[in-house]
Amino acid sequence: MNNNELKEFLDFKVEEYENSNFINSDPIQIPHLFSKKEDIEIMGFLVATIAWGNRKSIISNGEKLVEIMENEPFEFIKNYCSHKNLKFVHRTFNANDLDFFFRSLHSIYENGGLEKSFFDTNKIEGLKGRIHNFRTAFLATEHQQRSEKHISNPLANSACKRLVMFLRWMVRDSKKGVDFGIWKSISPSELYIPLDVHTGNIARKLGLLSRTQNDWKSNEILVQKLRIFDKNDPAKYDFALFGLGAFENF
């Protein structure tokens, strides 16, 4: 396919998958249980953090997080003090990690909130800088070294798939009923694709990516290609690439 044909194909697949039916099998359904901005972003962040492995397991454990937070995530975080009797595990993310995340979120909201923590200082360009700034703020709370693996670092060339996905949820327009569009301080034009096995493999099959690694450098290469198709909203193509891989085995 030439560029025009590829754009037409991907745009068609975006339209096919970016609709309210998408959320029925996706972890994004958990933050969709809420209407308050802070509740949505807290649950979105926590669910995105555990979004690896079996999707049914991710959703099930997302529901457990809602129960732990007594169906009021923001109120829970505002009033949180460290609890040693938390019971939670999702793969390598355990109760100690969750306690740290709760304590760090408490601190984040005492200092302006989750959206503000992704501020742009222009010291490091683009989304890489925003994620680095957030990671620095988040890790300022006392924690065990092991917990740092759950907050990926783009400066270490991590693809930061889960944080990139969380930002897509928060920033992209809500008109299709999937993403939320509740963060206005970040432009959709800044967003990247959450690069994983599905999106990476499909991008390579379509000639959008030649590097074999799913890392930050590949993120940058892929988003530059997708900005040719839509410079204002390149992350919309996540729906096409993921859908082709996860649902169609393209």
pLDDT digits (tens, 9 = 90+) for 8-42: 999 999 999 999 999 998 999 999 999 999 999 99
* Among candidate residues 151, 191, 192, 152, the one with its CA nearest the CA of residue 171: 191
What does the pLDDT look like over 200-243, one tens digit per residue? 999 999 999 999 999 999 999 999 999 999 999 999 999 999 99
What confidence score (pLDDT) does residue 125 get? 85
What confidence score (pLDDT) does residue 59 get? 97
Q: What are phi and psi of 32, to 5 degrees?
A: -70, -10
Give, in order, the Cα–Cα distances in Å from 123 to each of 120, 128, 239.
Answer: 8, 10, 31
* Among candidate residues 165, 170, 183, 111, the one with its CA nearest the CA of residue 140: 111
Residue 64 has pLDDT above 90, yes or no: yes
Residue 150 has pLDDT above 80, yes or no: yes
Domain hosting residue 115, numbered range? 3-246
* Among candidate residues 169, 227, 164, the one with its CA nearest the CA of residue 199: 164
Residue 82 has pLDDT above 90, yes or no: no
What confidence score (pLDDT) does residue 249 get? 75
What does the pLDDT look like over 160-197, one tens digit per residue? 999 999 999 999 999 999 999 999 999 999 999 999 98
Of the pLDDT bands very low, low, confident and very high (cuts 50, 70, 90), residue 250 is: confident
Of 81-85, 145-149, 195-199, where does mean pLDDT reach its minimum? 81-85
Q: Span 43-68, mean pLDDT?
A: 95
Residue 122 has pLDDT above 80, yes or no: no
Nearest 5 degrees, angle CA 232-CA 237-CA 239? 135
What confidence score (pLDDT) does residue 87 get? 92
Residue 120 has pLDDT above 90, yes or no: no
What confidence score (pLDDT) does residue 244 get? 95
Residue 157 has pLDDT above 90, yes or no: yes
Domain count, the chain: 1
Task: Determine the length of the chain.
Answer: 250
